Each structure stands twice: as C-alpha cells, then as structure tokens.
Structure 1
Amino acid sequence: MHFEILVEGQTELTTLSILMDKIVGQYNVPHTWKIHKHQGIGRLPGNLVGQPQKNDRTLLHNLPSRLRAYGNRMGDQEIVVLLLDLDDRKDCVAFKNELWLVLDSCEKKPNFLIRIAIEELEAWYFGDQHAIEKAYPDYNKKVLADYIQDAQCGTWEQLAEAIHPGGLKSLQHYGKRSIRILEEKRKWAAKIAPHMNVEKNKSPSFCCFRDGLRRFTLNSH
C-alpha cells in the first residue's frame, strides 16, 4: 500500500516522518508513503470543482483539485490520507462530513481516509507522557498531571507550559501562527516523536489515525 498523506505544515511532516515506520513498518517493506505539507489548514473553496488560486498554499483550499488529480491516476493499492487539527471546531463529525463532500465532488474517487487530531497534533504527545519525560526531563509535572487527554483546552499552549523554558508566557507575545511558534512546535516534534510508543499511546485521535492506516495495510496485496 502507498499512502499520500496531506498535512497542514512542517510540524506534522516532522512527526509523521518519524512515526510512520512505527505504525506501518519500515519504508518499502512493503508499504510506502509521501507526506505533503501545506501552509496551514485554510478553508474549502466555494466552488469545489474550480481551479485553486496559485498563491494559496493552504491544505483545504487545494484539497478538491488534489483529490481530482489523485482520482485520475491512483490505483487500488494507493490511498490519500488527510490529517487535520480539529482546533476550536465543536463538532468533529460535522467537520468530517463536510470533508467527505469534497470526495463526492470528484468524478473519479481515490481511496480516501480522513483523520482529525483533537484538539491539535500536540495531543498525540500528551498521549505518551513517557516520551515527553524522556525528551524534556525538566518538564512541569503538574501540567502533565492536569491535562485531560484530547480535550479542547489549548493543547499546544499546555505543552509549551510543560516543556518550554519560561513556559507559555515566554512565547505568547509571538502570536499563535508566528514563524517562531511554528519552529518551536517543529522542535518539540523532532525531540518527542522518536521516543513515542505507538502501541501504548493514550490519545484516541492518535489511535484512530494509527488503526486507520493499519486497516489498509491488512487489505493490501
């Protein structure tokens, strides 16, 4: 099975580049994958069958055209995997249904898997607190103890409070989407993901991602 994985940005690319062989096995033995990062999540275009704007590199804006292209060339041993953050959306099912409509707009439909990190990808790290402890031995124990798994609670901010020198306060003035914050998130991914045990992760949204990929590997030939 070959996975074409669409993600929001560099943090997800860094994380999955480390975790994929833990989830589906060593690259090319026999499964393969390619991870495509974008410039944030963006929003779906009003016209799902129109051409995307060339200067918009966000994931959702380009999703309809990418699915059409994949549908025209992909075989039954290939699948598009869409990984998004739920962020502050209140209804995960409604969000998923909106995304399935994009597939419905394609004349030729590729295999398609939608997975949503709740609230954000950083929830996956909280799902393996031992990995956080190994990557950041001086972590704030109270923050980890108080965290409610996969809660919509400002997840990356909680992680910053737990592991970043000076806590969240030292980063807040940069703004959530600033280059500095994105770079810090990438660094956290690079340090924590190598220590993660994908079999024992306590994040429901991570387990859903892991098991979704594995189901397709079991059906491949």
Structure 2
Amino acid sequence: MSAGSPVNLVVLVEERSADEALRALLPKITPGVAFRIAPFDGKEDLLRKLPHRFREYTYYWRAVNSRVVVLVDRDDDDCLELKAQLSRMAKEAGLPAEAVLFRIVIEELEAWFLGDVPAVHAAYPRVSLDLVKRVKFREPEDVPGGAWEALEHLFQQHGYHKKGLAKMIAARDIAPHMDVENNRSQSFQVFRDGLRRLVSEEN
C-alpha cells in the first residue's frame, strides 16, 4: 500500500433501511471517500457471518487501504458486551484495531431520524417542525415506547405510512434531507465522529 493511497470504506449493516440511509449520509459525513455497503438479513445474520467477513477483510485490508465499519442496533444487548464480542471477532480474524470501527445504534435507526426533525418535516411536511419541542421527542434515544413505534404512530397520525412504517421508504425519504452536523441523536454523533477519525490520514 503506497503512502497517501485513498481509503476504501466497507460498511456492514443489519438491514436494508440502514443501507438506504447511509447511501445518502456517508457522502455528507466523509466526502470523497469511496464506500461499499453490505446489508444483512437482520442482526443475527450479521453476527453469524462476521467472523468469515473479517477473515476476508484481513486478507486484503492493507493492500487496498480499506476500513471496515460494523453498525448494529443495541436491541436488548448490553452495549459494552456487544462491542466486546465484535472486537473479539475482529481480533481472532487478525483484523487490526485501526482498520475497524464498531458502532451501536442505541434505539434503532429511527432515533437518527428523530434527531433531525427538519429532515423529517422536509420529507413529510404534515409533521410539524415543533415536534422537537415536545417532551416525548426531546431525547431521540429515550423516546417512551421506542423510536420505531413512536415514528410509526407519528406518521400515521398525519396520514403517512398508513399500513405501517415502511422502513426502507422512510430512510429513502428522510436521509437525503439530513444535516449531519446538527443531529440531536447521540448515537448518530458518535457514529459520525468515529467514522471521520477512522478515515482520517492520521489514523
């Protein structure tokens, strides 16, 4: 690998709605960085296949200056234990720590959307910008009843997603409007900042 060669980013996600969102978000977070997103069929499928994927990436990561990002929902897992499990998989496969980033989405991808009310409003204009002032939505990672359920109920109240929240459609609608510098979701902020460090020349 020659000095100064461009970074190639591989992002592993557990579902296709995250794939849809990141296609719009990654160019805003790390402009000019080439990326490929690999969606899996749920968290269980992702965790089961990770050891094999890590071995593949270990084989060529240095030659092509690749960086690997694993993005998973916390669900009912302990964050520290889940991250330790992921780190152990990477270490056992021989993938160096500086080549991989693990990020746990605290309350599903929908918390990222609720962290950017103007983007939700731009995609679904009947949803008021005043949503951010409501106590229920003040903390995107701590919405009573869960972010997914709250977002579905909110949309249906305003005549959207009447048959249930279509996650891929919502991601496709909202993500292009998102301001990556001003998202109130803490897990999004941690993902954004960690991703930028991962691809920086100093890493």
Which interval holds the TM-score relative to the shorter structure? 0.7 to 0.9
CA contact (8 A) 1:68 1:109 kept: no
1:216 positional shift: 2.3
Matched, 1:78 2:66: yes
Q: Provide the residue aligned with 1:103 in structure 2.
A: 90
Determine whether 1:24 maps to 2:30: yes
For the Cα contact (< 8 Å) 1:135–1:191, is it kept in 2? Answer: yes
What is the one-letter code of the residue matched to 1:102? M
Contact residue 117 and residue 205 of structure 1 kept, 8 A: yes
Matching residue within 170, 183, 199 for 1:217: 199
Distance 2:131 2:196 in 1: 32
Deviation digits for residues 145-202 of structure 1 (CA, Å, limit 9, x no counterpart): 212321274211111111135689953xxxxxxxxx5xx1001001111110000011
- Give me the whole-angstrom Cα distance separating, in 2, the residues matched to 1:197 and 1:107: 36
- Secondary structure class of the residue paired with 2:141: coil
Count matched residues.
Answer: 190
Q: Which runs of structure 2 are paired with 1:1-221 in the superposition (5 Å)?
A: 1-25=7-31, 29=32, 31-42=33-44, 58-75=45-62, 77-89=65-77, 91-109=78-96, 111-139=99-127, 145=134, 146-147=136-137, 148-151=139-142, 153-164=145-156, 170-171=163-164, 184-219=166-201
Identity percentage of aligned residues: 36
SS of corresponding position for 1:96:
helix
What's the Cα RMSD here? Answer: 2.3
SS class of match (1:197): coil
Amino acid at match of 2:75: D
Structure 1 position 99, deviation (Å): 1.3
In structure 2, runs of 5+ residues without a counterpart are 1-6
Distance, in Å, in 2 between the alignment partners of 1:161 and 1:155 is 10
Question: Structure 2-normalised TM-score?
Answer: 0.84
- Give secondary structure in 2 for the equivalent of 1:62: helix
Q: Is the 8 A contact 2:13 2:37 kept in 1?
A: yes
Alpha-carbon spacing, 1:154–1:169, altered in 2? closer, same or farther (3 Å): farther
Instruction: Give the distance between the partners of 2:95 and 2:76, measured in 1 at CA.
Output: 32
| Contact preservation (8 Å) 2:14, 2:42 | yes
- For residues 150 and 160 of structure 2, the distance between their equivalents in structure 1, rounded to whole angstroms, comes to 9
Q: Distance between the aligned counterparts of 1:191 and 1:169, measured in 2?
A: 16
CA contact (8 A) 1:88 1:119 kept: no
Cα distance in 2 for partners of 1:131, 1:168 equals 17
Q: Bigger CA drift: 144-153 or 10-19?
A: 144-153
